[in-house]
Structure 1
Amino acid sequence: MKNQLIIFFLFFYFSVNSQENNFIVGATLNFNELNTQKSDLFLKDFTYLTPANAAKQTVVHPKPNTWNWTKINQMLDFANIHNLDLRIHGPIGPQSSKWIKDDSRTSDELMLNLVEFMTESCIKFSKEPSVKWMDVVNETILPSGKWHGPRLGNNKWENPWLKIGLDENEFPLYILKSFEIATKLAPDISLVFNQNAGFQPRLWDKLKKSIKYIRSKGYRVDGIGWQGHLLLSKSTYGFVNDLDKGIKDLSNLIDWAHENDLDFHVTELDYFVEDKSNLNNDLLNQKMIYSRIINLLEEKSKNGLVTLNFWDMGERYKKGKGYFQSIYSKELKPNPSYELLNNILK
């Protein structure tokens, strides 16, 4: 009887702790927020960090023959000092340097640039024990289900890498090459296919097919990322305006991920408001929506790894757009959504 009780206790202990470890919550810090009040607030609650845009090509490789790892190096130092786990957000996608978006650049030149950047990034981050996850590609599919591609000029939201071309089965060569390099050079980092927008069926059907196709080539895809920039664009209006359906769609996607041996990441959660004339009500609505999302993520973590990253921690203003709300106000006072952390971080 004594041995049976010991076995039961051990089973219960490891089951509970495994479930707890399957739901990881963190937030984003920008480089200029290190060693400030905001980073102090981060360290009070979190050990999972996304270093904002410090690893993106626009920062690391802004011009031909120019490399600058200063910002991400300091973010890595910060993580090592405070024993943090990092998800590197430096994917191949629209957030590329202006010289990459130059209309005159050929497909061969783009492929050389991609290989160079991905190779250097993977070699660097594979040496960092704090780096647990890495976004390999980002924003590759439009809500319509079409591949996100290039546009004229170099100052628009575009994806120049599609110019490299498609393979014989109509899959982008740049996506395949990115995962090929990451599989080879970052063997100990979990590789994420990150995506924006809402839950438009054509988009996610294409993403699922893409992941299966990438894997059929022998390359790893270890997780799906959904950004979760709520109300930023029309593509996420539906999630908020019909929340029951949005939660069901999110639930189904997480189930598909876990059934296919994929982790699931909410990578950039925030809540957009155009103006602050009705901010108190907006913040209460944000809390209600966040509560529904968090409850779902907690439940789904019983079946596989789930992570949640709050994009920024305080209010973020974008000129000509509006205000992105997170868990703290502009003055770094807790917003109503912060109260939800009491349950998930206990």
Structure 2
Amino acid sequence: MAISRRQFFLQATAAYAALHSIKANALSTALAETGLKDLYKDDFYLGTAIGASKLKAGSPDFLKLVSREFNAITMENDMKWERVNPTPGQWEWDLPDKFMAFGEQHEMYRLGHVLVWHSQVPSWVFENGKGKPASRKELLARMKNHINTLAGRYAGQMNAWDVVNEAVDEDKGWRKSPWFNIIGEDFMDYAFNFAHETDPKAHLLYNDYNMQNPAKREFVVDYIRKAKKRGVPIQGIGLQGHVGLGFPDIKEFEASIEAYAAEGMRVHVTEFDVDVLPVAWEFMGAEISTNFEYSDELNPYAKGMPAAIEQQLNDRYVEFFKLFLKHRDKIERITLWGTGDGESWKNDFPVIGRTNYPLLFDREYKRKACYNAVAALKQG
């Protein structure tokens, strides 16, 4: 029996909707058993940072989520000098060992963070035992011993190390840290050489924030070129990727990916999150609960994100992940700096007590709309 054009259109629309629903349900079922790492397995490693509290608690649900969604992990704080080697000769291996065991159990890419940094380092490292600055010789010996002990413990097991972290001071050149002031600008060369000697198989990175800054990019590229001529085994660059809804200019971020890759570096986006709150540097260190005058201004989403802001968050994640996919041939790994919103450092920085929503999972570790948006990029 012949049907009208309208009936044909309605039936075709219904059939399309049914097919779309079947595909959506199939994707939902697949993601319930797998995760983002499986969708992006042919593009780059997808990772998260794990904090001490999660490793101490050993929550089966949390660890199951991490192993389902990610195939790369970074230790958030407990391989930093003040945690792992707080006093001379004292080494705290419990949490780093748990981190390594978890990664090995699930065959995950393991990133050690960090061997040489100016922050979160005990004061004794830079002193001579009499309260005076250590000599160049003393500090180089401590650097070597630290790298040999920490990287040496996991040699052959750690896939990559952030060898040096945040050594460049925006457009001012080298950060005038104790490492630079005591050893000189060749402290970076020494760190990379010590790390390579200790674990020749590990992939060695320089990691920093604001790496899309043109002046910083130019300085780092210049260092890479000169260091490679000196035989320094620098192999990758970590772009920390702490971005906001309106910053940075994604074109500059892309220019940095291209510039570092052009120097033979594998690119890692090492600490990605998206800040949805107003910029608040002028209130740095403040406690908003005791300053009612600006609490509403600086903590506007204490009870949840408005729909319009959530859409901006989704769009920003999609914008960056499209960029990452575009340059998948240059990118080794994308790591989120945390798993759920409740554990993010962005809740307390630079102003204590704010409520932020920068990650792919909410405070109950449920997938957010931005997770679905990132997953949808790989549905086809």
Which TM-score applies when normalising by structure 2? 0.73
Q: Tell me what 1:292 maps to.
A: 319
Equivalents in 2 of 1:329, 1:252: separation in Å?
A: 31
Q: Could you tell me how far 1:117 is from its partner in structure 2?
A: 0.9
Task: Call closer, same or farther: CA 1:228–1:58 in 2, change over 3 Å.
Answer: same
Q: Tell me what 2:89 maps to.
A: 65
**Contact 1:164–1:173 at 8 Å: present in 2 too?**
no
Q: Could you tell me how far 1:261 is from its partner in structure 2?
A: 1.9
Give the 3-state SS of the residue equivalent to 2:117 in structure 1. coil
Q: Could you tell me how far 1:326 is from its partner in structure 2?
A: 0.9
Asked if residue 266 in structure 1 is aligned to residue 269 in structure 2, the reply is: yes
Question: Which 5+ residue runs of structure 2 have no aligned equivalent?
Answer: 1-39, 278-297
**Contact 1:86–1:132 at 8 Å: present in 2 too?**
yes
Asked if residue 306 in structure 1 is aligned to residue 332 in structure 2, the reply is: yes
Give the 3-state SS of the residue equivalent to 1:89 in structure 2. strand
Question: Which 5+ residue runs of structure 1 have no aligned equivalent?
Answer: 1-18, 150-158, 167-171, 232-239
Task: Call closer, same or farther: CA 1:282–1:258 in 2, change over 3 Å.
Answer: same
Asked if residue 189 in structure 1 is aligned to residue 169 in structure 2, the reply is: no
**Contact 2:46–2:335 at 8 Å: present in 1 too?**
yes
Q: Tell me what 1:255 maps to.
A: 258
Instruction: Output one character per residue of 1:312-332: Cα deviation in whole Å (capped at 9) or x when no partner.
Output: 011223274434521112222
Counterpart of 2:111 (choices 75, 80, 87) is 87
Measured on the aligned residues, the alpha-carbon RMSD in Å equals 2.4
Q: How many residues align?
A: 302
Asked if residue 164 in structure 1 is aligned to residue 182 in structure 2, the reply is: yes
Asked if residue 338 in structure 1 is aligned to residue 371 in structure 2, the reply is: yes
Equivalents in 1 of 2:84, 2:377: separation in Å?
A: 34
Task: Determine which structure has more spread, i.e. the larger CA radius of gyration.
Answer: 2
Equivalents in 2 of 1:323, 1:217: separation in Å?
A: 47
Q: Tell me what 2:359 maps to.
A: 326
> What letter is aligned with 2:98?
Q
Task: Call closer, same or farther: CA 1:42–1:323 in 2, change over 3 Å.
Answer: same
Q: Could you tell me how far 1:85 is from its partner in structure 2?
A: 1.4
**Contact 1:138–1:194 at 8 Å: present in 2 too?**
yes
Q: Tell me what 1:28 maps to.
A: 49
**Contact 2:71–2:107 at 8 Å: present in 1 too?**
yes
> What letter is aligned with 1:308?
I
Of stretches 201-210 and 310-319 in structure 1, the one that deviates more from structure 2 is 310-319
Q: Tell me what 1:110 maps to.
A: 139
Q: Tell me what 1:38 maps to.
A: 62
Equivalents in 2 of 1:87, 1:216: separation in Å?
A: 26
Counterpart of 2:155 (choices 118, 126, 132) is 126
Q: Could you tell me how far 1:101 is from its partner in structure 2?
A: 5.5
Sequence identity (%): 19
Which TM-score applies when normalising by structure 1? 0.80
Task: Call closer, same or farther: CA 1:121–1:285 in 2, change over 3 Å.
Answer: same
Give the 3-state SS of the residue equivalent to 1:271 in structure 2. strand
Instruction: Output one character per residue of 1:166-216: Cα deviation in whole Å (capped at 9) or x when no partner.
Output: 3xxxxx122111011112222111111111125222111111111122212
**Contact 1:164–1:174 at 8 Å: present in 2 too?**
no
